[in-house]
Structure 1
Amino acid sequence: MMVRKTTLLTLCLLMSCCLTKAQNILFVGNSLTYSNDMPQMLEDLAEMNGLSVQTMCLCQPNYALEDHLNEGTVLFELASKPYDFMILQQGPSSQDYGRKKLFDMGGKLAALARQNKAKTAFLMVWPAKDYYQSFDAVIENYTDASHASRAILIPLGAVWQKLNLEHPEYELYGEDGFHPSQLGSFLEAVVILKSIHPKLEVTTLKTDFRTEGIKDDESMQQFLNAVSKYLKK
């Protein structure tokens, strides 16, 4: 009887370890990813909701995916330890040149990820306020590039666009009209977490994040409700 109890206890411990195994995420991008230390926001949000995420950010100012490929650091990092996801991001890529680079370089990086048993995701971004009219092209190009590379699409830009249109009270842009505000980076973390955990319910996320316009539990709940609605569209 004691042996059986010990065996059951061991199995439970093993199952617990499996359930809480950290997901390793490699970010390959630029300042639209690392602004406001978004990767750390993602780790904190995951932890508060019973998940474990560890991030590594290969992100440099003004870098495109081609720059990362030319440096060779992505391949080295993928080979250094097992990653579950590699999340790719470059600029808005609304023009033909940016679209082509997103397809070509994204495809090459996705192939490297597959060789190292990691899933690839494209993090759809947003245009600067001065080029807001290009938003639909940003959404289209990131969507098409993710499909071409057989990758996961993280539809951040699409959610960003809808929030801007229907909830102008949420200031997602930072002072320069391009990089994210604190709230914009938090939105980024929420959409990424939902994209790698599709069964996660955004409306019930636990978070202690507060910023301008999100000062209490009620306003945070309203924000999460809006994000959840747009993720389902």
Structure 2
Amino acid sequence: MKKAFFCTLVGLASLLGPAIDVFASPPSPEATKILFVGNSLTLGNDLPGLVKSIAASKGVSIVTRTAAKGSARLAHHAENPQLRALLDETAWDFVVLQEHSQLPALRDEDVAKKTLPYASWLAERARLMSPATQVVFYMAMAHRDGDQFNKTSFSEVGTYEGMQQRSNVTYNRMARENEASVVPVGVVWSHMRTSHPDVELYVDERHPTVAGSYLAACVFFTTLFSQGCEGAFQPVTLADGTGLKIQNLSDDVLLRNAGIQ
């Protein structure tokens, strides 16, 4: 068992996304088994596959499965019998939970109604098969220009900085209340925007480019396995030097400068 470094309605029947690794035979006992539960921020650019490639390049064997669909919420996943079956498929080392991008940044009363109960139910359900399963919350990036849909009723989320801060608070709360951990992609993403504005992280107002997903994958690897990403696998589609900038920035924030906030 590996130790973590840090402590629009969708049809429910179709929430289970494509399996990144299908267990045709039982995975090696040495392999770390990770289940990703989320939406397009997990599916885009095959985030689980990027994490797996980084791990392999560092000598770490992992197998992954993914339950995700665009716009899915934790509430949808909690009601999905296919996800429950997937949770029972094996003794997962890590179960990653990612909420819809807008919900964690809403007002406290909305978060308490729309997110927290489902985060708790999923965390408890994830440990039913194996109490040793580590639940981790994917603290995602805020929208490039903030939440323009909800800003009229909640001005705080109308900027990137305001939305990210609200989201960070909620993800940290979910982790604290469920004895879980946080993969602080949103924190490292903020540092990247400030330090390397030349690196395009967004393909539109909310979804990541390959560079953005690679940054998230680096944060995942370092958070889950306590190793830096310098010298790790890089997607061939990244512009020259971009992968190294991402690796160095992620390692600086997570390891060398301990800049988690």
TM-score range, shorter chain: 0.7 to 0.9
AA matched with 1:189: A
CA shift at 1:209, angstroms?
2.2
Distance 2:189 2:88 in 1: 34
1:94 equivalent to 2:105? Answer yes
AA matched with 1:226: L
Aligned length: 209
Distance 1:74 1:230 in 2: 34
Counterpart pick for 1:185 among 213, 229, 234: 213
Counterpart pick for 2:72 among 40, 55, 63: 63
Distance 2:234 2:183 in 1: 23
- Report the structure number with the largest CA radius of gyration: 1
Distance 1:25 1:189, change over 3 A: same
CA shift at 1:101, angstroms?
3.0
What is aligned with 1:46? 55
CA contact (8 A) 1:20 1:51 kept: no
What is aligned with 1:109? 122
1:227 equivalent to 2:250? Answer yes
Moved more, 123-132 or 26-35: 123-132
| Counterparts of residues 186-225 of structure 1 (less than 5 Å) | 186-198=214-226, 200-202=227-229, 204-212=230-238, 214-216=239-241, 219-225=242-248
Distance 1:64 1:167 in 2: 31
CA shift at 1:211, angstroms?
3.6
RMSD, aligned CA: 1.8
Where does structure 2 lack aligned partners over 5 or more consecutive residues? 1-27, 147-159
Distance 1:160 1:222 in 2: 12
AA matched with 1:121: V
1:21 equivalent to 2:21? Answer no
AA matched with 2:126: A
What is aligned with 2:195? 166
Distance 1:62 1:170, change over 3 A: same
Q: Secondary structure at the match of 1:55?
A: strand
CA contact (8 A) 1:22 1:54 kept: yes
Q: Percent identity?
A: 27
Distance 2:80 2:232 in 1: 39
Q: Which has the higher contact order (CA 8 A, sep 6+)?
A: 2
CA shift at 1:142, angstroms?
0.7
What is aligned with 1:78? 87
